[in-house]
Structure 1
């Protein structure tokens, strides 16, 4: 670890106790500190002690219920604003650049990125922007290492099976505009989105998605802290990953 990481960890232990970062320290041991599910093999970091559950009930975690309820309640307005943006402000969308690939048939409109709200989105999709800021950002439920964006798969597009980088954040999908013929598979279990409702899953497990419908499929994606992580762990992981990215020249 770099001096910056070590000093931050010392400060966190001072605030929260000597054992507050034990799981993070185990994660950093050779081999990751714990066995992992075969369908998590592609993930880089696995924080020990988190439930190895691919699919989660969006209302099973009290911490996340306000986010889910707020997004679902606002869905009709969010959908209308998204459709207006797609029709009149297409330049606000860009090819989605996943850490593994870039796809022209996967479009994104970002609301939160680089640890902050994307101010341009406040006028493009104001309701989603306000709900996200109030219920996920201001409450520190969002993982600042990642993002929130409208994810639009064009007809015929597919996202190849892959694991994301770690298990200590979790992916919430609000189904905004869903044609027939769309599906998402996580750890071998395929589900469909129900418009106006949320799905929640651990994307350290292998997952894929496809749009076999006749029009674009759009979900609002929010990267939230895994509800089984603790406040000191979140502080430490933010410092750790940010410093690794800095050393790798990723900003």
Structure 2
């Protein structure tokens, strides 16, 4: 760790207790804090002690339930605004750039990234913008290291199997516009989206998605803190990953 990270960790321990960062410290040890599931081996960091559960019930975590309910309640208006944006504001969408690849058949309209709401989205998709801000951003449930965006897979698009970088955030999908023939596979189990409802999964497990339908498939994706992480751990992980990115020249 850098001196900046060590100082930040010391301040967190002072506020929350000497053992408050024990799991983060174990994660940084050689071997990554212990054994991991075989289908998590592509992830860079695994915070030990989190339930190794690929699929989560989106209604099972009290911390996340208000986000789920707010998004699902807003779905009809969110879908109408998304369709309008796709028709008349296509320039607001861009090729999605994952840390592994970039795909022109995977389009994204960002609502949150770079630790802030994307102001351009306020006029384009105002309901989704408002619900996301009030339920996830203002409440600090969103992981500021990541983002929220409308994720649109064009017909025939396929996202190859991969693991995301870590397990201490979790991926929430609101199914906005779902044609027949779409699927999401996480840790070998394939499910589909139910329009207007949320799916929740741990994307440190290998996962893939496809659209074999005849029109675009769109979900609203929100990267939330894993509900089993603690406030001091979130503070430390934010500092740690931000410092790593700074050292790598990623801003």
Question: TM-score normalised by the shorter chain: which range applies?
Answer: over 0.9
Name the counterpart of 2:132.
Answer: 132
TM-score of the pair, normalised by structure 2 = 1.00
TM-score of the pair, normalised by structure 1 = 1.00
Please report the RMSD computed on the Cα atoms of aligned residues, expressed in angstroms. 0.2
In structure 2, runs of 5+ residues without a counterpart are: none
In structure 1, runs of 5+ residues without a counterpart are: none
What are the equivalent positions in structure 2 for 1:1-251 lying under 5 Å apart? 1-251=1-251
1:103 to partner: Cα distance: 0.1
CA–CA separation in structure 2 for the residues paired with 1:173 and 1:30: 33
CA–CA separation in structure 2 for the residues paired with 1:33 and 1:228: 16
CA–CA separation in structure 1 for the residues paired with 2:209 and 2:4: 39
1:33 to partner: Cα distance: 1.2
CA–CA separation in structure 2 for the residues paired with 1:17 and 1:145: 24
Other structure's SS at 2:193 match: coil
CA–CA separation in structure 2 for the residues paired with 1:88 and 1:247: 40
1:73 to partner: Cα distance: 0.2
Other structure's SS at 2:31 match: helix
1:207 to partner: Cα distance: 0.1
1:34 to partner: Cα distance: 1.2
Provide Cα deviations, 1:140-162, integer angstroms capped at 9, x if missing partner: 00000000000000000000000
CA–CA separation in structure 2 for the residues paired with 1:14 and 1:115: 26
**What is the aligned length?**
251
Provide Cα deviations, 1:159-193, integer angstroms capped at 9, x if missing partner: 00000000000000000000000000000000000
Provide Cα deviations, 1:22-45, integer angstroms capped at 9, x if missing partner: 000000001101110000000000
CA–CA separation in structure 1 for the residues paired with 2:212 and 2:33: 40
The 4+ residue runs of structure 1 with deviation greater than 2 A are none
1:106 to partner: Cα distance: 0.1
Other structure's SS at 1:213 match: coil
